[in-house]
Amino acid sequence: MSRGEKLYIAMVGLPAMGKSTVAAKLKENLEKEDIRVKIFNNGDVRRRIMKENSSHAGFYDPDNADGLAIREKIADINFAEAKAYLSEGGQIAILDATNASLPRREKLAERLNNHAILFIECVNDDPEILSLSIGRKAKGPDFAHMCEDDACKSFEERIDYYRRIYSPLRTEPNRIRVDTLNNRVIDESTDAHLPYYPRIRDLLVSDWVKNLFLIRHGETVFNSEDRIGGDSDLTEKGRKQAWALSRHFLGTPIPYIFTSSKKRTLQMAAPLHETRSNCRLFSFKEFDEIDAGKCENLTYQEVRDQMPEVWRERGKDKYEYIYPDGEGYATLKARVNHGIKKALFLSGNSEYIVIVGHQAVNRMILSHFLFRRTEDVPYIYIPQDKYFHIISTQTKKLLELRKF
């Protein structure tokens, strides 16, 4: 591909759909291939040219003539700066904005008619993720002067205003609609010779993990008694392991921690979370340990003595076996994968994230990033005093087991 080829990428979608995360992911990866890329974000321009705070929802009301005029001016500035960037040696200019209405996109196409334009629409219909994303956005610089509840309400109103003018991609000649939670293409139509498209599409459908620290909870009361499942507390040894983990990561910025809903993972994560500022913790039921059904709370010896048929059948195929009234590894896979997608979406393009999980759950998470035969997954070693460091990008794959 010629280094002289140029491309505009125009992000499309409602607020909190992951547009800026996708833009940053594209920029970072494409730059590693010596492609000159720059992001032109409308919000950055708005904060640059407006002295007064524009976080109030009314600014985005399509019936607010003054607000509309300012927003059009902001778009014009970004169009001009993106065009200048490509004329001065840049190769890809990413316009990071909602570009929600058809008239706005028509204006964009008219102003930026000197090179090809790829429209990327970000879609996410998961109500839980939308709610969590709004909570994350409400902690941003636009809302620093407001309490979290007021900020969330204001941002929800902003989204509602955009919904009034929103028109999905349908007729644009170069377009791709992406489910940003599941990294799945919903629809696409592009010219066969669109510059850089094969690389861009690969990035849009791939998980992206810079540094994931995958940790199992420390020793629990049930661990010490050789019991299955349950919701027991950490032992004294387990609490010491939790503090050792926190000390190990001193100096490492950790903006996001994800746990299950079980006490043992929350207790393991607590010292790590409490000793760090600007660190958010999310508790997902998707990361709960495998449900052993009728075998929950029993010791392994009790299962062997009281339910010999369960012990025998599970031993034949541990991956496919389903506990009576419970789960198996095979049925665990879908919910754990959904939890991974949620964690990666919410953490955006973060340099570091932590997941504190359980033995079976962590085995499934490892198998998500690594090729392992399904029959081998139930036997992956998951210690309580070590963690897995995972990197999974288009240019680097790494898995290492470290002690804390």
CATH number for 150: 3.40.50.300
β-pairing, 256-259 vs 280-283, is parallel
Q: pLDDT at residue 83 above 50? A: yes
Q: What is the pLDDT of residues 155-174, one digit of tens each?
A: 999 999 999 999 999 999 99
Does residue 43 lie within any of the structural domains?
yes
β-bridge partners, 94: 9, 39
| Whether residue 247 is found in the same domain as residue 353 | yes
Is there a single domain that holds both residue 242 and residue 352? yes
Which phi and psi angles does 88 have, rounded to 5°?
Answer: -100, 15
Answer yes or no: do 150 and 184 share one domain: yes
**Is 399 part of a structural domain of the chain?**
yes
Asked whether residue 62 falls in the same domain as residue 168, the answer is yes
Same domain, 70 and 161: yes
User: What is the structure's pLDDT at 346?
Assistant: 93
Q: Is the dihedral of CA 283, 289, 295, 301 positive or negative?
A: negative
**Same domain (yes/no): 271, 184:** no
pLDDT tier at 51, thresholds 50, 70, 90? confident
Q: Are residues 236 and 333 in the same domain?
A: yes
User: What does the alpha-carbon distance between residue 382 and residue 328 come to, in Å, rounded to a whole number?
Assistant: 17
> Quick one: 133 and 152 in the same domain?
yes
Residue pLDDT, tens place only, 370-382:
877 889 999 999 9
* Domain enclosing residue 217, as ranges: 209-403
Q: Is 222 inside a domain boundary?
A: yes
Is residue 219 a part of any domain in this protein? Answer: yes
Is 2 within the bounds of a domain? no
> For residues 317 and 377, what is the distance between their CA atoms, to the nearest angstrom?
11
Tell whether 257 and 396 lie within a shared domain. yes
Domain boundary among 185, 204, 223: 204
Q: Is residue 93 within a helix (H) or strand (E), and if so which, with residue range? A: strand 92-96
- Do residues 255 and 198 share a domain? no
Number of structural domains in the chain? 2
From 2-6, 165-169, 283-287, the region with the lowest mean pLDDT: 2-6
126 domain-assigned: yes
Q: Is the dihedral of CA 219, 225, 226, 228 positive or negative?
A: negative
Which among 152, 187, 204 is the end of a domain?
A: 204
49 in a domain, yes or no? Answer: yes
**94-130 residue pLDDT tens:** 999 999 999 999 999 999 999 999 999 999 989 999 9
How far is it, in rounded angstroms, from Cα 337 to Cα 7?
34
**What are the tens digits of pLDDT across the range 224-248?**
999 999 999 999 999 999 999 999 9
Q: Which of 158, 135, 138, 137 lies closest to 146, judged by CA? A: 138
355: nearest Cα among 327, 335, 336, 331: 336
List the end-to-end C-alpha distance of the chain, in Å, as a whole number.
Answer: 46
Same structural domain, 62 and 75: yes
pLDDT in tens, 245-269: 999 999 999 999 999 999 999 999 9
Domain of residue 340, CATH code: 3.40.50.1240
Question: What mean pLDDT is predicted for residues 195-209?
Answer: 92
pLDDT tier, 144 (very low <50, low <70, confident <90, very high otherwise): confident
Same domain? For 218 and 196 the reply is no
Would 32 be classed as within a structural domain? Answer: yes
